[in-house]
Structure 1
Amino acid sequence: MKLTNRAIEALSGPAPGASAKSKEVSDSEVTGLRIICSAGTARRKFFYFHYTIHGQRKKAKIGEFPAIGIQEARQQALEWRAAVDRGVDPMDQRDRVRQMPTVSQYATDEYLPYAKQHKVSWDMDESKLRLHILPKFGPRRLCDISTRDVQMYIAQIKASRSPATANRHLALLSKMFKMAITWERIDRNPCVGVAKFREPQGRTETLSSEDLQKMLKAMESEPNIQAVAALKLLLLTGTRREEALQARWDDIDLDKALWFLPKTKNGKTRHVMLNMEAVSLLRSHVRLPGVPWVFPGRDPARPLNNPRKAFTRILNAAGLPYLRVHSLRHLFASFAVSSGVSLFQVQHLLGHASPSTTQRYAHLANDVLRQASASVSSIFTKAKPGDDGKMAA
């Protein structure tokens, strides 16, 4: 019969004394949709979807009437019918959803273990998840995160922090959902179609020679000797913070002035050319017996965690504005370019995989280029004939 909510309300179970325990009525509108009315005074009624797949006859429970009405039952039955036509078993789909982990479970049990094995910067992912993403999405099922949810989230990050930070959060979410698809957890990535924010040109902090002098003077009074040495090495080599903090004595050859980095941000190895000041710094730095780290922490079994607090004290003592520890890398590049080093050479000094990353320092080369142009101008001026027809002296 054509089922309606009113008709279903009027349905009764088997007559008293009948052998049947329930009465089943098929819907004439949607093939496979049935309502089952139980015997007894309760007369509970449930929607089921009957189907055949791979030669097997099955049925899937939709829900109880009247909590679920006929229109909602038909919609669910039609969705399952479409799945059957595609060769997908609705029961498998339902079981998959029931077993779907929450974002918190997925991040902790699956994504982070993967990131620790494949990403040098996995700790940055862990920090974003712990401080921001999991408080927002943690209890929700992985399959329930929508594109709108992602868009609203990164908009909040942009408003409270910066476009660049919001883009890093979007990249992490996209990677997490991409891996979830690979591991057959979900079928779609809700980050697809979410546009990145336009980022301002990268910061290229510079210091005058006077400010650098103040910073070095303040370092002499800083009690954290390990942190001071690490900060000086960052400034002298332009390496990344973690590259310096994870430095081992076995990877440094002071006689050849070479420092081997076994693992960089892009996953490759590289050698850092140590200048005279860097070699002198490392030669004078105390090496603890049996400790592999160049800059050990309070527990010598571990490297120094973060020189941020010491750097803040140094900047305050020197009367200098706030700088990130990462700013020391930019200062190294700025000093190099301002001294006439080409952008190509700076790219290799910093270990940039792409020359486009080094282009942020292009404007600092203007004075050097102007001097080079002036030298050509000088030659041209000398070559010009004077009013008397003779060459300039």
Structure 2
Amino acid sequence: MTQTKKFPFTTRNIQALPAHQVDAASKSAEYSDATVVGLKMIVGKNGSKSFAFRYTLVGGTKRFARIGTFPAIGVAEARQVALEMRAVVDRGGDPLEGLDRLKAMPTFAEFWDSEYSPYAKQAKKSFRNDESKYRLHLKPRFGSRRLCDIGVRDIQLHHAAIRQSHTAATANRHLALLSAIFRKAMEWGRIDKNPAAGIKPFKEANQHQRFLSSDEVGRIFEAMEAEPNKVAVAALKLLLLTGTRREEALQARWEHIDLEAGQWWLPMTKSGRGRYVALSEGAKALLIALPSRGESPWVFPGRDGDKPLNNPRKAFCRILAAAGVDHLRIHDLRHSFASFAVNAGVTLYEVQELLGHSTAQMTQRYAHLADGGLRRASQAVADVVSAAVQKANGGAEGEGGLRSSRLVS
């Protein structure tokens, strides 16, 4: 049994306490302060002395909190700490709650694996991109560190490092992901503040939109014939033929494609709602020829068939190199689809529907491509005005209509 004695603690009588008996069954002797209830002095077999506080929670649970070593901590300070702990207990709290929380604090990798990742797989459409950022960059940098030990400076340094090796946009996506992770950690009671909050993103330069020319399309399709990854080739072709986003194509399932009706259902898009994609004859022929029909639920399966193709980027880069096409991203296939549609006379409203844009403003980026049609429309108005003026003047200008000087005079 632990030896227990009670007396008013003073520096002198604590110094006079003997070391606990070496042959005793207990590891230490325990003495109680007669002034502050719960304040204890623990004396070890080697003569070490330390203050502690014993208390009982509302539910009956008994707890033991170490305060500090004597004489580094004096009697007055130990009593003050014990009284503060007693006040927490009297209010229904637990003085060790913070320490317990700290002991249970997961590392960044543990939090990702056990909490954030399972949530994000179900809640975020961008999870595959997030998982790639985590695996390649975030885990090597932050994985072994506790969440509470990662501060604003750590996030800023990572943000800047990614900017050095990648674009400002990529660095900002990393910042957004880190902010989302720590925001959830706050929401779930793991940490008290988000170290990524308030960090300013880098200014992103507005990149010039890249559109394929018909000559480049021909060279790319020719290079695709020699590309060994035929699944990636088919996915890239479908992107150009439908204008869909990369992840929309890679996540395509046969159950959502109706070849007879020429429709492809996207159950979840960037806008947060599903939509139908109209399949052209070329897109239908491409899908009909795919060997995955009847063999995999995925239109573009990965190696084992149980998962979709992860990313056709490597095949895309090989194709571009063989075709001699520079400065093209996979997303530019979507821009090129819109470009070809506009130049073929498709209205911006129809382009909005084809691309699944939620607002007309998003489609306005392609408005300049329709300037030929706008010029024709403008000329039609000018012809009407010219004819009206000519009629009012009794046809004095002749069969050729008004001179330009008369229209602007």
Fold in common (TM above 0.5): yes
User: Structure 1 143/375 Cα, relative in aligned 2: closer, same or farther at 3 Å?
Assistant: same
Aligned pair partner of 1:250 in 249, 255, 265: 255
Residues 256 and 58 from structure 1, CA distance in 2 versus in 1: closer, same or farther, beyond 3 angstroms?
closer
Partner of 1:163: 168
Alignment: residue pair count: 382
Question: Relative to 1, partners in 2 of residues 1:39 and 1:183: Cα closer, same or farther, differing over 3 Å?
Answer: closer
Give CA-to-partner distance per residue, 1:338-382, whole Å, 9 cap, x none: 444344433332223454544443444445434433332343344
The one-letter code sitting in structure 2 at the alignment partner of 1:12 is Q
1:80–1:207 CA distance, 2 compared to 1 (3 A): farther
Q: Is 1:46 equivalent to 2:50 in the alignment?
A: yes
**Counterpart for residue 15 of structure 2:** 12
| Structure 2: 5+ residue stretches without partners | 1-9, 22-27, 402-409
1:117/1:73 CA distance change after superposition, 3 Å: farther
**For the Cα contact (< 8 Å) 1:13–1:37, is it kept in 2?**
no
TM-score (normalised: structure 2): 0.76
Cα shift readout 1:215-244 (whole Å, capped 9, x = no counterpart)? 223223334333322211110101122322
Residue-by-residue CA offset, 1:38-61 (whole Å, 9 max, x unaligned): 377x54343446789759896632
RMSD over equivalenced CA pairs, Å: 4.0
Shift of 1:131: 1.3
**After the TM superposition, which residues 168-183 of structure 1 pair with which residues of structure 2 at under 5 Å, given as runs?**
168-183=173-188
Deviation at 1:286, TM superposition (A): 4.6
Aligned CA distance change for structure 1 residues 368 and 37 (closer, same or farther; 3 Å): same
Q: Which of residues 204, 219, 224 is equivalent to 2:209?
A: 204
1:97 corresponds in structure 2 to 102
Cα shift at 1:271: 0.7
Task: Describe the shift of the 1:77–1:206 C-alpha distance in structure 2 as closer, same or farther (beyond 3 A).
Answer: farther
Say which one has the larger Rg.
2
The 8 Å contact of residues 383 and 391 in structure 1, kept in 2 or not, is answered as no
1:236-274 deviation digits (Å, cap 9, x = unpaired)? 101122322333333222232111123334443211011
Residue of 253, 273, 277 corresponding to 2:278: 273
> Among 113, 117, 125, which residue is 1:120 paired with?
125
Out of 149-158 and 205-214, give the one that drifted further. 149-158
Using a 3 Å threshold, how does the CA distance of structure 1 residues 33 and 341 change in structure 2: closer, same or farther? farther
- TM-score of the aligned structures, taking structure 1 as reference length: 0.79
SS of the aligned residue for 2:69 comes to strand
Letter paired with 2:341: A
The equivalent residue for 2:404 is none
Give structure 1 stretches of 5+ with no counterpart. 1-6
CA contact (8 A) 1:13 1:38 kept: no
Which deviates further from its counterpart, 119-128 or 78-87? Answer: 78-87
C-alpha spacing 1:64/1:308, structure 2 compared with 1 (3 Å): same
Corresponding residue number in structure 2 for 1:309: 314
Higher mean alpha-carbon deviation, 237-246 vs 277-286, is at 277-286
* Residues 304-350 of structure 1: per-residue CA shift (max 9 Å, x gap): 33322332222122111142222211211222234443444333322
User: In the TM superposition, what is the alpha-carbon distance from 1:73 to its structure 2 partner?
Assistant: 8.0
Deviation at 1:284, TM superposition (A): 4.3
Note the alpha carbon deviations across 1:196-221, whole angstroms, 9 max, x for none: 33323355211222222222232233
**Percent of pairs identical after alignment?**
51
1:351 aligns with 2:356: yes
- Name the amino acid aligned to 2:121: K
The CA distance in 1 between the partners of 2:376 and 2:121, in whole Å, is: 49
**Aligned residue number for residue 3 of structure 1:** none
3-state SS, counterpart of residue 212 of structure 1: helix
Indicate if the aligned counterparts of 1:37 and 1:43 stay in contact, CA closer than 8 A.
Answer: no
1:380 corresponds in structure 2 to 385
Q: 1:280 to 1:161 in 2, by over 3 A?
A: same
